[in-house]
Every structure is written in C-alpha cells, then in structure tokens.
Structure 1
Amino acid sequence: MSLRKLAISFGVDMQKGIFPHRFVTCENLNYVGSVPAFSYFDGISLEEYNNYCRNFNNNWSLREEAVKYCISDCISLYQILIKFNQLIFDNFKININRYPTLPSLSFAIFRTLFLDKSSFVSQLSGKISKDIKLGYTGGATDMYIPTNLENELVYAYDVNSLYPSVMKHFSMPVGKPTYFEGDIRKIEPKAFGFFYCKITTPTKLNHPILQTHVKTKSGLRTVAALGTYKDMIFSEEMDNAIKLGYKFEILWGYTFEKGYIFTDFISTLYDIRLQYPKSNPMNYIAKIIMNSLYGRFGMDDQFTSTQIVHKEDYLKFEKANIGFINDVIPLTDSYLVNQNVDYTNTDLDSQSETHNINIAIASAITSYARIVMSSFKNNPNLKLFYTDTDSIYTNLNPDQMNKLFPGIVNNKELGSLKLETVSTKAIFISPKCYYLLTDDNQEIFKVKGLNKTGLSTITGKEFVQLLKKDHQVIKKQNKWFKSISESTIIIKDTLYTIKQTNNKRELIYNTRNKLINTKAYTINEDKIVKNN
C-alpha cells in the first residue's frame, strides 16, 4: 500500500504531503513563486490541489517545500511503524523489529502461536526442492473471449482470500518426503505428494487447466496448453485433471503425509478482518499477514549479501569470491558489491542459517488455488471471458451463479465469490490488459506496465481499436530512474506500447481482421508450441 493510503488507514498525526515531483530540474532548485501547475502533481485530485494552493501567495519555495515534504514523509512512516508495531504486539505478542519483511513476520506469528508441535514440517532444499519447483507455476491468468456482445453484461467476481481459503480447508504436504520410482499409485492408490509424469491432455479442451513452462517465439512462458509432455505435478491437481480426461504416466516423485497446519491461523486472522471495517488498520494488518505466509515457504534459499569494499581491497575480494558476485556499483572510494552467499565459506555467519522453507507447501497452495478456479472453466453453462489468479469475468449474474454453484456468491464467506463490477462493455486484449465500462458509466483500465500517468490518457475508443489485428496504441508515461553511484533520481518521459499478445493462447480473427476469440496452444514433447 502507498504511504499516503497507509497514513490514512493508520490514522497517524502526520499525513503524507503532496509535492510536484516532475517540476524539479537542476535549473530551478531555488524557484520561488506561484504553486506549480496541477499537471506537475501525481496521485492527487484537483480539489486537493486547490486546497494546497490556498496555503501560498506567490511565495511557494521549491527548496523549502522539498525539505518539508521529505521530513513529513519520514515522520509519517515512523508513526505508522510505531503504531503497526504496537498493534502487532498487542494482538500477537511479537516484536516486529526482529523481522525485516512481512512474510518473515507472518511466518513468526504462525510458528509462535499456531504451529502444532505435533505437526512435522520438513525443511526442503537441494535436489528435492529443485525437483518440486519444476511444477511451481503460480496463478492462472488467461484471456479467452476478447469482448462481449451488444446488450450482454459482463460480471466480474473475485474469490474472497483465495490462497488463505485453500490453506484453511485443504491438507498440506507434511512429514518427511519419500522418494519413489515408477507408478506409486499402483502400490499406494491414495499416494499424496508430487509426481513427475508423462502428461497427455484431451485433444479438445477450450480451457486447459494444467500450466507448464513452454518455449514460444517470445521466450519461456507459463501456458495452459494441449499436447503430450513431461512435468512435475501435485497429486491433488493430477486427480482433478483426470476428471476432464487428462492421462498421466507416473515416472517418479516424492510422497508426503497430510496435515491441516493452517486452519487455526487463517480462521483467527479472517475473524479479525470481519471484526473491523476496511478503514481500520487491523483489517489491513490481518489481510496482509494472512496473505504473506504462503510465499515464505517458497522463498528462494539462494540468499544474497551486499557490502561495501574499498577499491584497494577489491581485487583480493574478487579473487576470493569469484563466481558469486552479481553486481558491482562504483562509489567514491569503494564498490557496493552484491553477491550470492557462499555457503562453502566457513568464515560466513550464514553457514549456520536456518531458512525454514518448504517448496512443497507453497506449490501445494498454488495448486489447490488452481483447482478451485478450474471449477469455473469448461462448464457449458458459463461463458468465460477472462480469468486472473483469483477472479473470473463471465456472463452470469449472482442469481445464475448461485444456481449453477449453490451458495458460491457470498461477500463475506472465506473462499466464496464476491461481485466486484458489472460492465456493459468489456474488452480484454491480453492477460493484465483490459477495459471495462461499468453499468454506472465508470471506466476501468488495467494495463500491466503502464503507470498512472499513462493510464490517465488512454480512452475506451483506443481499446476498441486494439481489437484490430496488429494495431498499437503508444502512450507516454513518467518513469523514475535511480543511480546509486551518482546519488540521483531522474524522472523521464518514456513510451509504452499497448498491443495484442499471443504469449499464452492463439488469437483468432474474423475476415475483417478483428480479434474475436482465442484457442489453446498445442505443444510437443519438448514443450515447444506447434501452432504458434
């Protein structure tokens, strides 16, 4: 969350100020006069700008206002952290100063207050971790139908806390992993774990539900494709895919025991969310702690360290750490060096680090989430325009959804759907790139990679034009570039191109070269797209 929103949510005394960042140049640092034009300010309303201007009478000083702005930022953040620390301690008896990130704090709360001592959760690293990570692909985001018909409404639904809901309701891989070769299900029909399989998909499936990393003209992509290939898969996701006609030849893998280790953790935090309105910081705190835990289990155990090395000592340092250095930034008399931690170096304190990671649990959670979302795919009674990790865009209203999936639409129940928007016009160009015109005439734009300055200039008409084959829309946006060695931050105008992409599905056009549909790619055994 932005500092401005955090300050409002936490109700601190010092709220974040406003400042015309793009007005600053090397030539006008001593500027004194009228307040710079509204166009130089980002992220504020015209009303906020006008209220700000009333504080000055042609005596606005860039130097003074810059200093005040920086000071207020620091004080505001400090007050937020103090209040955050107090709320965490009051509710969980944890001191945040021991934990540098939200995932580490969430992990500490889980281990201290909620991890059943009888539940054995292995630390996984090395070959086991790398093998299981082969099937760790995250959420599924796909564009299926680019736009709705005339007079056809599009309903957008989000799942209430998708990842926390599967953490609460589904069993996790716990205990010590056991390696096997061959088809384990012939010996243990209910074997639970991660299996490396030869996978054969149905020949015709509009919405494939298994993702894999494939080679396309644009590079390596995560694609839900058809065909025959080999991959690592979670046993429960495999069983779910069998229902749609997928076939699996299990070659080798790892079995685990089952355990419900997150039930109390998620229940407690979700109850806190329900107790407080969204304007209360405890609602937000409960949300971020609940959502930050799963990724901690899938954290990369190849840590890096950063240190300052004097230039006179650098050659000796480089020789001792050859092969581990990632980046070197020159400073005045020294270098700022980022390197992978060398665990073979006995002089490093990190030799005794305990990483407490388990890729099996992180991968299981994302797999369960995909299983939940797969229930909305390939249903003949549901027209699916677009899906994101935890959202769907369809033609069915809440009553129709509840009739098709009894009780599925419920704004407060964990794991149920909540209606976000109803749109009279929807245009989906590619994953994370769409336009909605809501039934109350509000325009919503989503373009991954395009910031607020670029989004503010795009129009619905331009999105309509983007349905034409090879059509592009180019937008100007501000980007911040920082240089540690030069101690500078520079704001530059850059160009961003919006266009159709066929990275995940094949695009289908009508005779007038208008995008009207998509279909799944078919890949070969080398995971290369056949029809791209």
Structure 2
Amino acid sequence: MEKRKLVYNKWSLNIENYPTISSLSYAIYRSKYLIENMIPITSGKVFNWIKDSYTGGSTEMYIPYGKDVKVYDGTSLYPSQMKLNKFPVGPIYIFEGDVTILDKDKHYWIAGAEVKTKRDLDRPYLQIHHKTNGSVRTVALNGTFEMKIHCCEYYNSLDDYEISIKNGYLFHSEYIFKDFVDDVFKLRQSYAKDHPINLVCKLILNSLYGRFGMRLINNIQKFLSKQDFFKLTEDSNCEIEDFLDLGENGFFVNYIDNNIKNNDHKVCVAIASAVTAYGRVAMSIFKKIPDLKKNPGFIILYSDTDSAFIIGNLPEELIGNELGKFKLEYTFKEVVMLGPKLYMGITTDDKIVAKVKGFKNAKEINYDDFKSLLNENNVSLDLEHDKWFRNLQDSNITIKKQIYKLMKTENKRKLIYDDNGIAIGTEAFKKD
C-alpha cells in the first residue's frame, strides 16, 4: 500500500498498471523526465548493428586465491554514469572514416573498429563477444581484433590500444537522465537501507537503462488446436520458434507474430549499450592501477560489473557513500576464486560469502573442498541440489535431485599454475 501511494503521489502513476519494475521505471521516466522527440528509435539493421556493442558489465578473475582481500562495491554505478554523462540523442547518421575530428562534447558515436593492444596487457579492458572453449563469451583480449566501440571507451583506452575507426553511427549528445537519477536517489536516501521503499528506489534506478535495449520481438506462447496450429504455419507473418506436440490435446507453440504492431514498444539500444560502456570505463580504473610489483600497496584479484576484490586500499577520492563512489563491503581473511561469478571466502567476522552461478546453496559447500579445486589435478566437485522441471503435457512441476559439477573455468582467461600444480594466476587470451 505504501509503495502504491508513494508512486501515485510523486509521479501520478498507478503501480498496478505496470507488471515489472522495468516497466514502472520506464513509465516514471516518460511521465516527467523525457523530452519529446529526443530519444532516437533503433530498429532493423541499426538495432542489430549497435546490439553487437552491448556487451554488458565486465567480470574477470585475475588471481584465484588471496588473503586479507577487501571487497569494494560501487554505489549505484550505472545510475551514477547515467547522471554524469551525455547520451546519444536526436537523428541517427551513418558515417565512414575518422569521426574523432568532430567535437566530442557535442557528438556521441558508436564505431566499427580494428583494435590492437600496444603491448600485452596484464588486464586488458576492452571486451568483445569471442568464442573460447567452444562457447561465445565476453572476453578482454590482447592482440588484434575487431569490435564495435563507444566513443567513451575509445578516448579512455588510447594509452593502451591502437584503434582504427572504420564506420558507424553518429548522434548528438545530451544529458538526459540527470534529473531522473537525482530525484529517485534522493528519495532512496530518505529511507533507511532496510526499508522496502529504499529497495524499490534502487530497483527503479537500476532497471531503466535495460528497457531501452529490449529486443523488438512479439513473442507469444499459446496452446492451439491442431487446426489452428496448421493455420499458423501458413501465415507468412508468423515465425514458429518452437512447439510441443501434445497429441490429442493439440500443440503448445512459441511463435513471433509480426502482424502485431506495438506502438508503445519504442527502444534505443544505443542508450542501453552506452550506459554499460560508461560503466566499463568507470571500472577500468581498477585495471589501470599498477600491479603489485610496481605498487606494493595494491593488487586486484577479481572485478565484477560494479565491485572489485583487492589487496591494499583504494585511493581516498574513490571512497564514499555518494552516488558512484565505492564503499568497503567486507574483508576476506581468505578467498578462493575459480572463475567469474564463482568464488567462496571467509570474512574477518567468520562468515561465509559464496557465489556459484547456477547453484542455489553455495554457502553450504565445504570451503576446503572448494579450495581443493585450485589443484590442477582436481578437475571437478560433484554437488547435489534440487531443480524444478516443467512438464507441459502432464501440466505439472516436479522437483528432482540433480548433480551440479563444480569446476574452475578458463572461458575468459587462462589459468597459470606453479610447480606444485596449484593455480596462482591467470593471463589474458591473445588474438593475432
């Protein structure tokens, strides 16, 4: 009731009309902060081309084991970048050649480029979609490669990369999120951290940018009779993605209906991608700080979208409770990291902190068993957990015990072992 009243009193919106936080956030932005005809609509070839630059946050594991490791977390990193920076707006222009001759304060561009590291970097930070070990991952490489690069990443990386711009899309640039972020963040701060409204405001802040990157697909899931199913297959404007034959009961079908025109589904993937690009630029500061040999007071072991595990201390100017600053979450007495989103540690107050992507009960894993996987000869650890399985034909859900195979991963960087076969570091992949 309190959330409904707050949203209505502040933005004159009925929360019941918006089934998701992202739809509510988008409605709030449009109701008060959106300037008419400011946001460019990306669709078709433009959407598909720019989408390749939308690689999300950067998550890397550099050193798999550490003691006295401090975990710093950013305060609303993406919203802070939305407030501080200009974004692509207005008409969309196609360009070829050196776009950097234009005034970088007035324009925003996304370019296809050939990129080369000037030397082999310990922690390269320009990431692309790249196939490693049989699957496509977002990987930061050494060597020469092609990518779709945002102008903010271009100017941030010139010390470490040679970049040749080929072509791309050009926009004007304006501050479009400042008032929205200021208002919602101020509202969030007026409530205690454990208050539900604080969490609602946090979700509203962090959900808006993704709405601009939604794919324009009219996906429908429906039970159909056999007659209706065969009619659907004859409709040239419908694309069947998948279907399940239910025998005498017909079919369950997942399809795209291009007959539906959703005029409210207006997106700008350039803006969504730009938010994540600015976020990567902000986090690149951790990767640019000299390594332990050059600076005994600092070393980075792991970085996520808006957090970092380090030995040492952050510069004072980066620490604080303000938007975009970093705060110390906790300190590990000891921590093991087997890959991105795959770590387990013991804090200074003897609490277990663990994250194992795809496994629900990470804190219940035995720490010594987890740590044993640092040994090159220990390939995996078999864990058991409950998984839910849907059976559409029988209209039921069953819960079954299933084995989860916990393994160290080398999908994004190659592990380095010492003479005893213990993982002590990683190195970036190189593309020539």
TM-score for both structures, normalised by structure 1: 0.76
Check the 8 A contact 1:201/1:226 in 2, yes or no.
yes
**In structure 2, which of residues 350, 357, 361 is the aligned counterpart of residue 441 of structure 1?**
350
CA distance in 2, matches of 1:96, 1:321: 38
Write the letter of the residue equivalent to 1:379.
I
**In structure 2, which of residues 245, 248, 257 is the aligned counterpart of residue 341 of structure 1?**
257
Partner of 1:523: 431
CA distance in 1, matches of 2:287, 2:307: 12
Check the 8 A contact 1:223/1:504 in 2, yes or no.
yes
Check the 8 A contact 1:470/1:500 in 2, yes or no.
no
CA distance in 1, matches of 2:237, 2:44: 22
Distance 1:121 1:482, change over 3 A: same
Check the 8 A contact 1:437/1:443 in 2, yes or no.
yes
CA distance in 1, matches of 2:87, 2:101: 22
**In structure 2, which of residues 89, 106, 109 is the aligned counterpart of residue 174 of structure 1?**
89
- Give 3-state SS (helix, strand or coil) of 2:426's partner: strand
Deviation at 1:187, TM superposition (A): 5.8
Partner of 1:145: 63
Partner of 1:389: 305
Partner of 1:215: 131
Partner of 2:75: 160
**In structure 2, which of residues 38, 41, 58 is the aligned counterpart of residue 123 of structure 1?**
41
Distance 1:303 1:387, change over 3 A: same
Aligned residues: 423
Distance 1:499 1:439, change over 3 A: same
Which stretch of structure 1 is more off in the superposition, 512-521 or 315-324? 315-324
Check the 8 A contact 1:145/1:516 in 2, yes or no.
yes
Equivalence map 1:444-455=2 (5 Å) = 444-452=353-361, 455=362
The answer as to 2:374 corresponding to 1:482 is: no
The answer as to 2:369 corresponding to 1:459 is: no
CA distance in 1, matches of 2:364, 2:195: 33
Q: Unaligned regions of 5+ residues in structure 1, if any?
A: 1-81, 343-347, 525-532
Distance 1:283 1:311, change over 3 A: same
Partner of 2:154: 238
Check the 8 A contact 2:353/2:363 in 1, yes or no.
no
The answer as to 2:241 corresponding to 1:326 is: yes
- Give 3-state SS (helix, strand or coil) of 2:318's partner: coil
Check the 8 A contact 2:117/2:160 in 1, yes or no.
yes
Check the 8 A contact 2:237/2:257 in 1, yes or no.
no
Deviation at 1:321, TM superposition (A): 5.0
The answer as to 2:181 corresponding to 1:266 is: yes
Computing the radius of gyration from Cα coordinates, the structure with the larger value is 1
Deviation at 1:84, TM superposition (A): 3.9
The answer as to 2:381 corresponding to 1:473 is: yes
- Give 3-state SS (helix, strand or coil) of 1:445's partner: strand
What are the superposed Cα offsets for residues 220-258 of structure 1, whole Å, 9 maximum, x if unpaired?
Answer: 11100011111110011111011x321111111111111
The answer as to 2:333 corresponding to 1:424 is: yes
CA distance in 1, matches of 2:33, 2:256: 33
Which stretch of structure 1 is more off in the superposition, 86-95 or 501-510? 86-95
CA distance in 2, matches of 1:436, 1:476: 20
Write the letter of the residue equivalent to 1:366.
T
Identity of aligned residues (%): 36
CA distance in 2, matches of 1:237, 1:476: 42
- Give 3-state SS (helix, strand or coil) of 1:451's partner: coil
Check the 8 A contact 2:119/2:160 in 1, yes or no.
no
Distance 1:487 1:416, change over 3 A: same
Check the 8 A contact 2:116/2:144 in 1, yes or no.
yes
Which stretch of structure 1 is more off in the superposition, 101-110 or 300-309? 300-309
Distance 1:456 1:144, change over 3 A: closer
Write the letter of the residue equivalent to 1:426.
V
Write the letter of the residue equivalent to 1:479.
K
Deviation at 1:189, TM superposition (A): 6.6
Check the 8 A contact 1:457/1:475 in 2, yes or no.
no
Partner of 2:266: 356
The answer as to 2:409 corresponding to 1:512 is: no
Which stretch of structure 1 is more off in the superposition, 431-440 or 187-196? 187-196
The answer as to 2:322 corresponding to 1:413 is: yes
RMSD: 1.8
Distance 1:273 1:187, change over 3 A: closer
Deviation at 1:83, TM superposition (A): 5.1
Partner of 1:194: 110
Deviation at 1:456, TM superposition (A): 4.9
- Give 3-state SS (helix, strand or coil) of 1:105's partner: helix
Distance 1:182 1:163, change over 3 A: same
**Structure holding more strand per residue:** 2
**In structure 1, which of residues 133, 146, 150 is the aligned counterpart of residue 51 of structure 2?**
133
Which stretch of structure 1 is more off in the superposition, 306-315 or 249-258? 306-315
Distance 1:470 1:354, change over 3 A: farther
What are the superposed Cα offsets for residues 431-474 of structure 1, whole Å, 9 maximum, x if unpaired?
Answer: 1111111111112121111112xx35411111220100141111
Which stretch of structure 1 is more off in the superposition, 469-478 or 311-320? 311-320
Equivalence map 1:29-40=2 (5 Å) = none
CA distance in 1, matches of 2:116, 2:75: 33
Deviation at 1:92, TM superposition (A): 1.8
**In structure 1, which of residues 363, 367, 374 is the aligned counterpart of residue 277 of structure 2?**
367
Check the 8 A contact 1:171/1:260 in 2, yes or no.
yes
Q: Which of structures 1 and 2 has the larger relative contact order (alpha carbons within 8 angstroms, sep 6+)? A: 2
Check the 8 A contact 1:234/1:364 in 2, yes or no.
yes
**Structure holding more helix per residue:** 1
- Give 3-state SS (helix, strand or coil) of 2:144's partner: strand
CA distance in 1, matches of 2:179, 2:237: 47
- Give 3-state SS (helix, strand or coil) of 1:153's partner: strand
- Give 3-state SS (helix, strand or coil) of 1:294's partner: helix
